[in-house]
Amino acid sequence: MAKGKLEVQITDTAGGPVRAQVDIDLQPMSGELGSGGEGMTVSANLRADTQLTITGITCRGGPGTMYRLLATAPHFRPYGFFQLIQEGASNTAGDDVEFWVKPGDVTDIRAPQFDELPAGLRAVLSGAQMVVDNPEYRDLVGTLGLGLYEKLGPLRKAGLLNIAKKAVTPLPTNVSLRSGLC
């Protein structure tokens, strides 16, 4: 029976290692694409590493076998993609596993102090005019600047910091935005 191996990069959204047990479930596709494959689950605790090599993946000789890969870790959203495994090859994953935290599991974050925020973000918080379009935001009405930042709590503060970070990070050169698409 033919075998292949897979090299996969596994990180959190900051590009760091996932400090939890990661389970990778590999299931061959149904039909011709999945022939020669067998399902398998691999568990790893990468600690400080972001690279995982999975060996002994059964596949069809020649064209290989297409697998559905699903990666899971506690407190993170599952991440999945399709991967072709070819015999005798060190297959590089077609996608990097980037784990996003489950919002409901956020209990606290290590956020910068208000005066450590970029000037533009401090200006946004200082000029905000909070309105109630959702009852859970009522506590923010009438607050500005430092007071608003402190009232956000860990989940809303994490969301604000993520948006601020994305707003100043340039898009990769191979990404194009088309008007009218979400």
- The reply to whether 75 and 114 lie within a common domain is no
Q: Give the pLDDT confidence score for residue 172 in this predicted structure.
A: 66
- The reply to whether 95 and 154 lie within a common domain is no
| In a domain? residue 117 | yes
Q: Give 167-172's long-range contacts (Cβ < 8 A, gap of 24+).
A: 168/118
Six token digits for residue 71: 């990666």
The kind and range of the H/E element at 177 are: none
The kind and range of the H/E element at 26 are: strand 21-28
Domain count, the chain: 2
- The reply to whether 15 and 91 lie within a common domain is yes
* Helix, coil or strand: residue 8: strand
User: Tokens 């784990």 belong to which residue?
Assistant: 99
- The reply to whether 6 and 94 lie within a common domain is yes
Q: Which residue among 54, 82, 99 closes a domain?
A: 99
- The reply to whether 70 and 150 lie within a common domain is no
- The reply to whether 67 and 137 lie within a common domain is no
How far apart (Å, rounded) are the C-alpha atoms in residues 78 and 98? 9
Boundaries of domain holding 131: 106-168
Reference 71, options 36, 91, 46, 106; nearest CA is 46
Which amino acid, 7? E
Q: Give the pLDDT confidence score for residue 163 in this predicted structure.
A: 87
Reported pTM: 0.67
Contact 86, 33 (CB under 8 A): no
Q: What is the pLDDT along the chain (182 residues), one digit of tens a residue?
A: 899 999 999 999 888 999 899 999 999 999 999 999 999 999 999 888 999 999 999 999 999 999 999 999 999 999 999 999 999 888 999 999 999 888 788 788 889 999 999 999 999 999 988 888 888 889 999 899 999 999 998 888 988 988 888 787 676 666 555 544 44
Q: For 127, what's the count of Cα atoms within 13 Å in the CB-facing half-sphere?
A: 6
| DSSP 8-state class, residue 142 | T
- The reply to whether 7 and 45 lie within a common domain is yes
| In a domain? residue 179 | no
- The reply to whether 30 and 116 lie within a common domain is no
| In a domain? residue 177 | no
Q: Which residue among 75, 99, 123 closes a domain?
A: 99
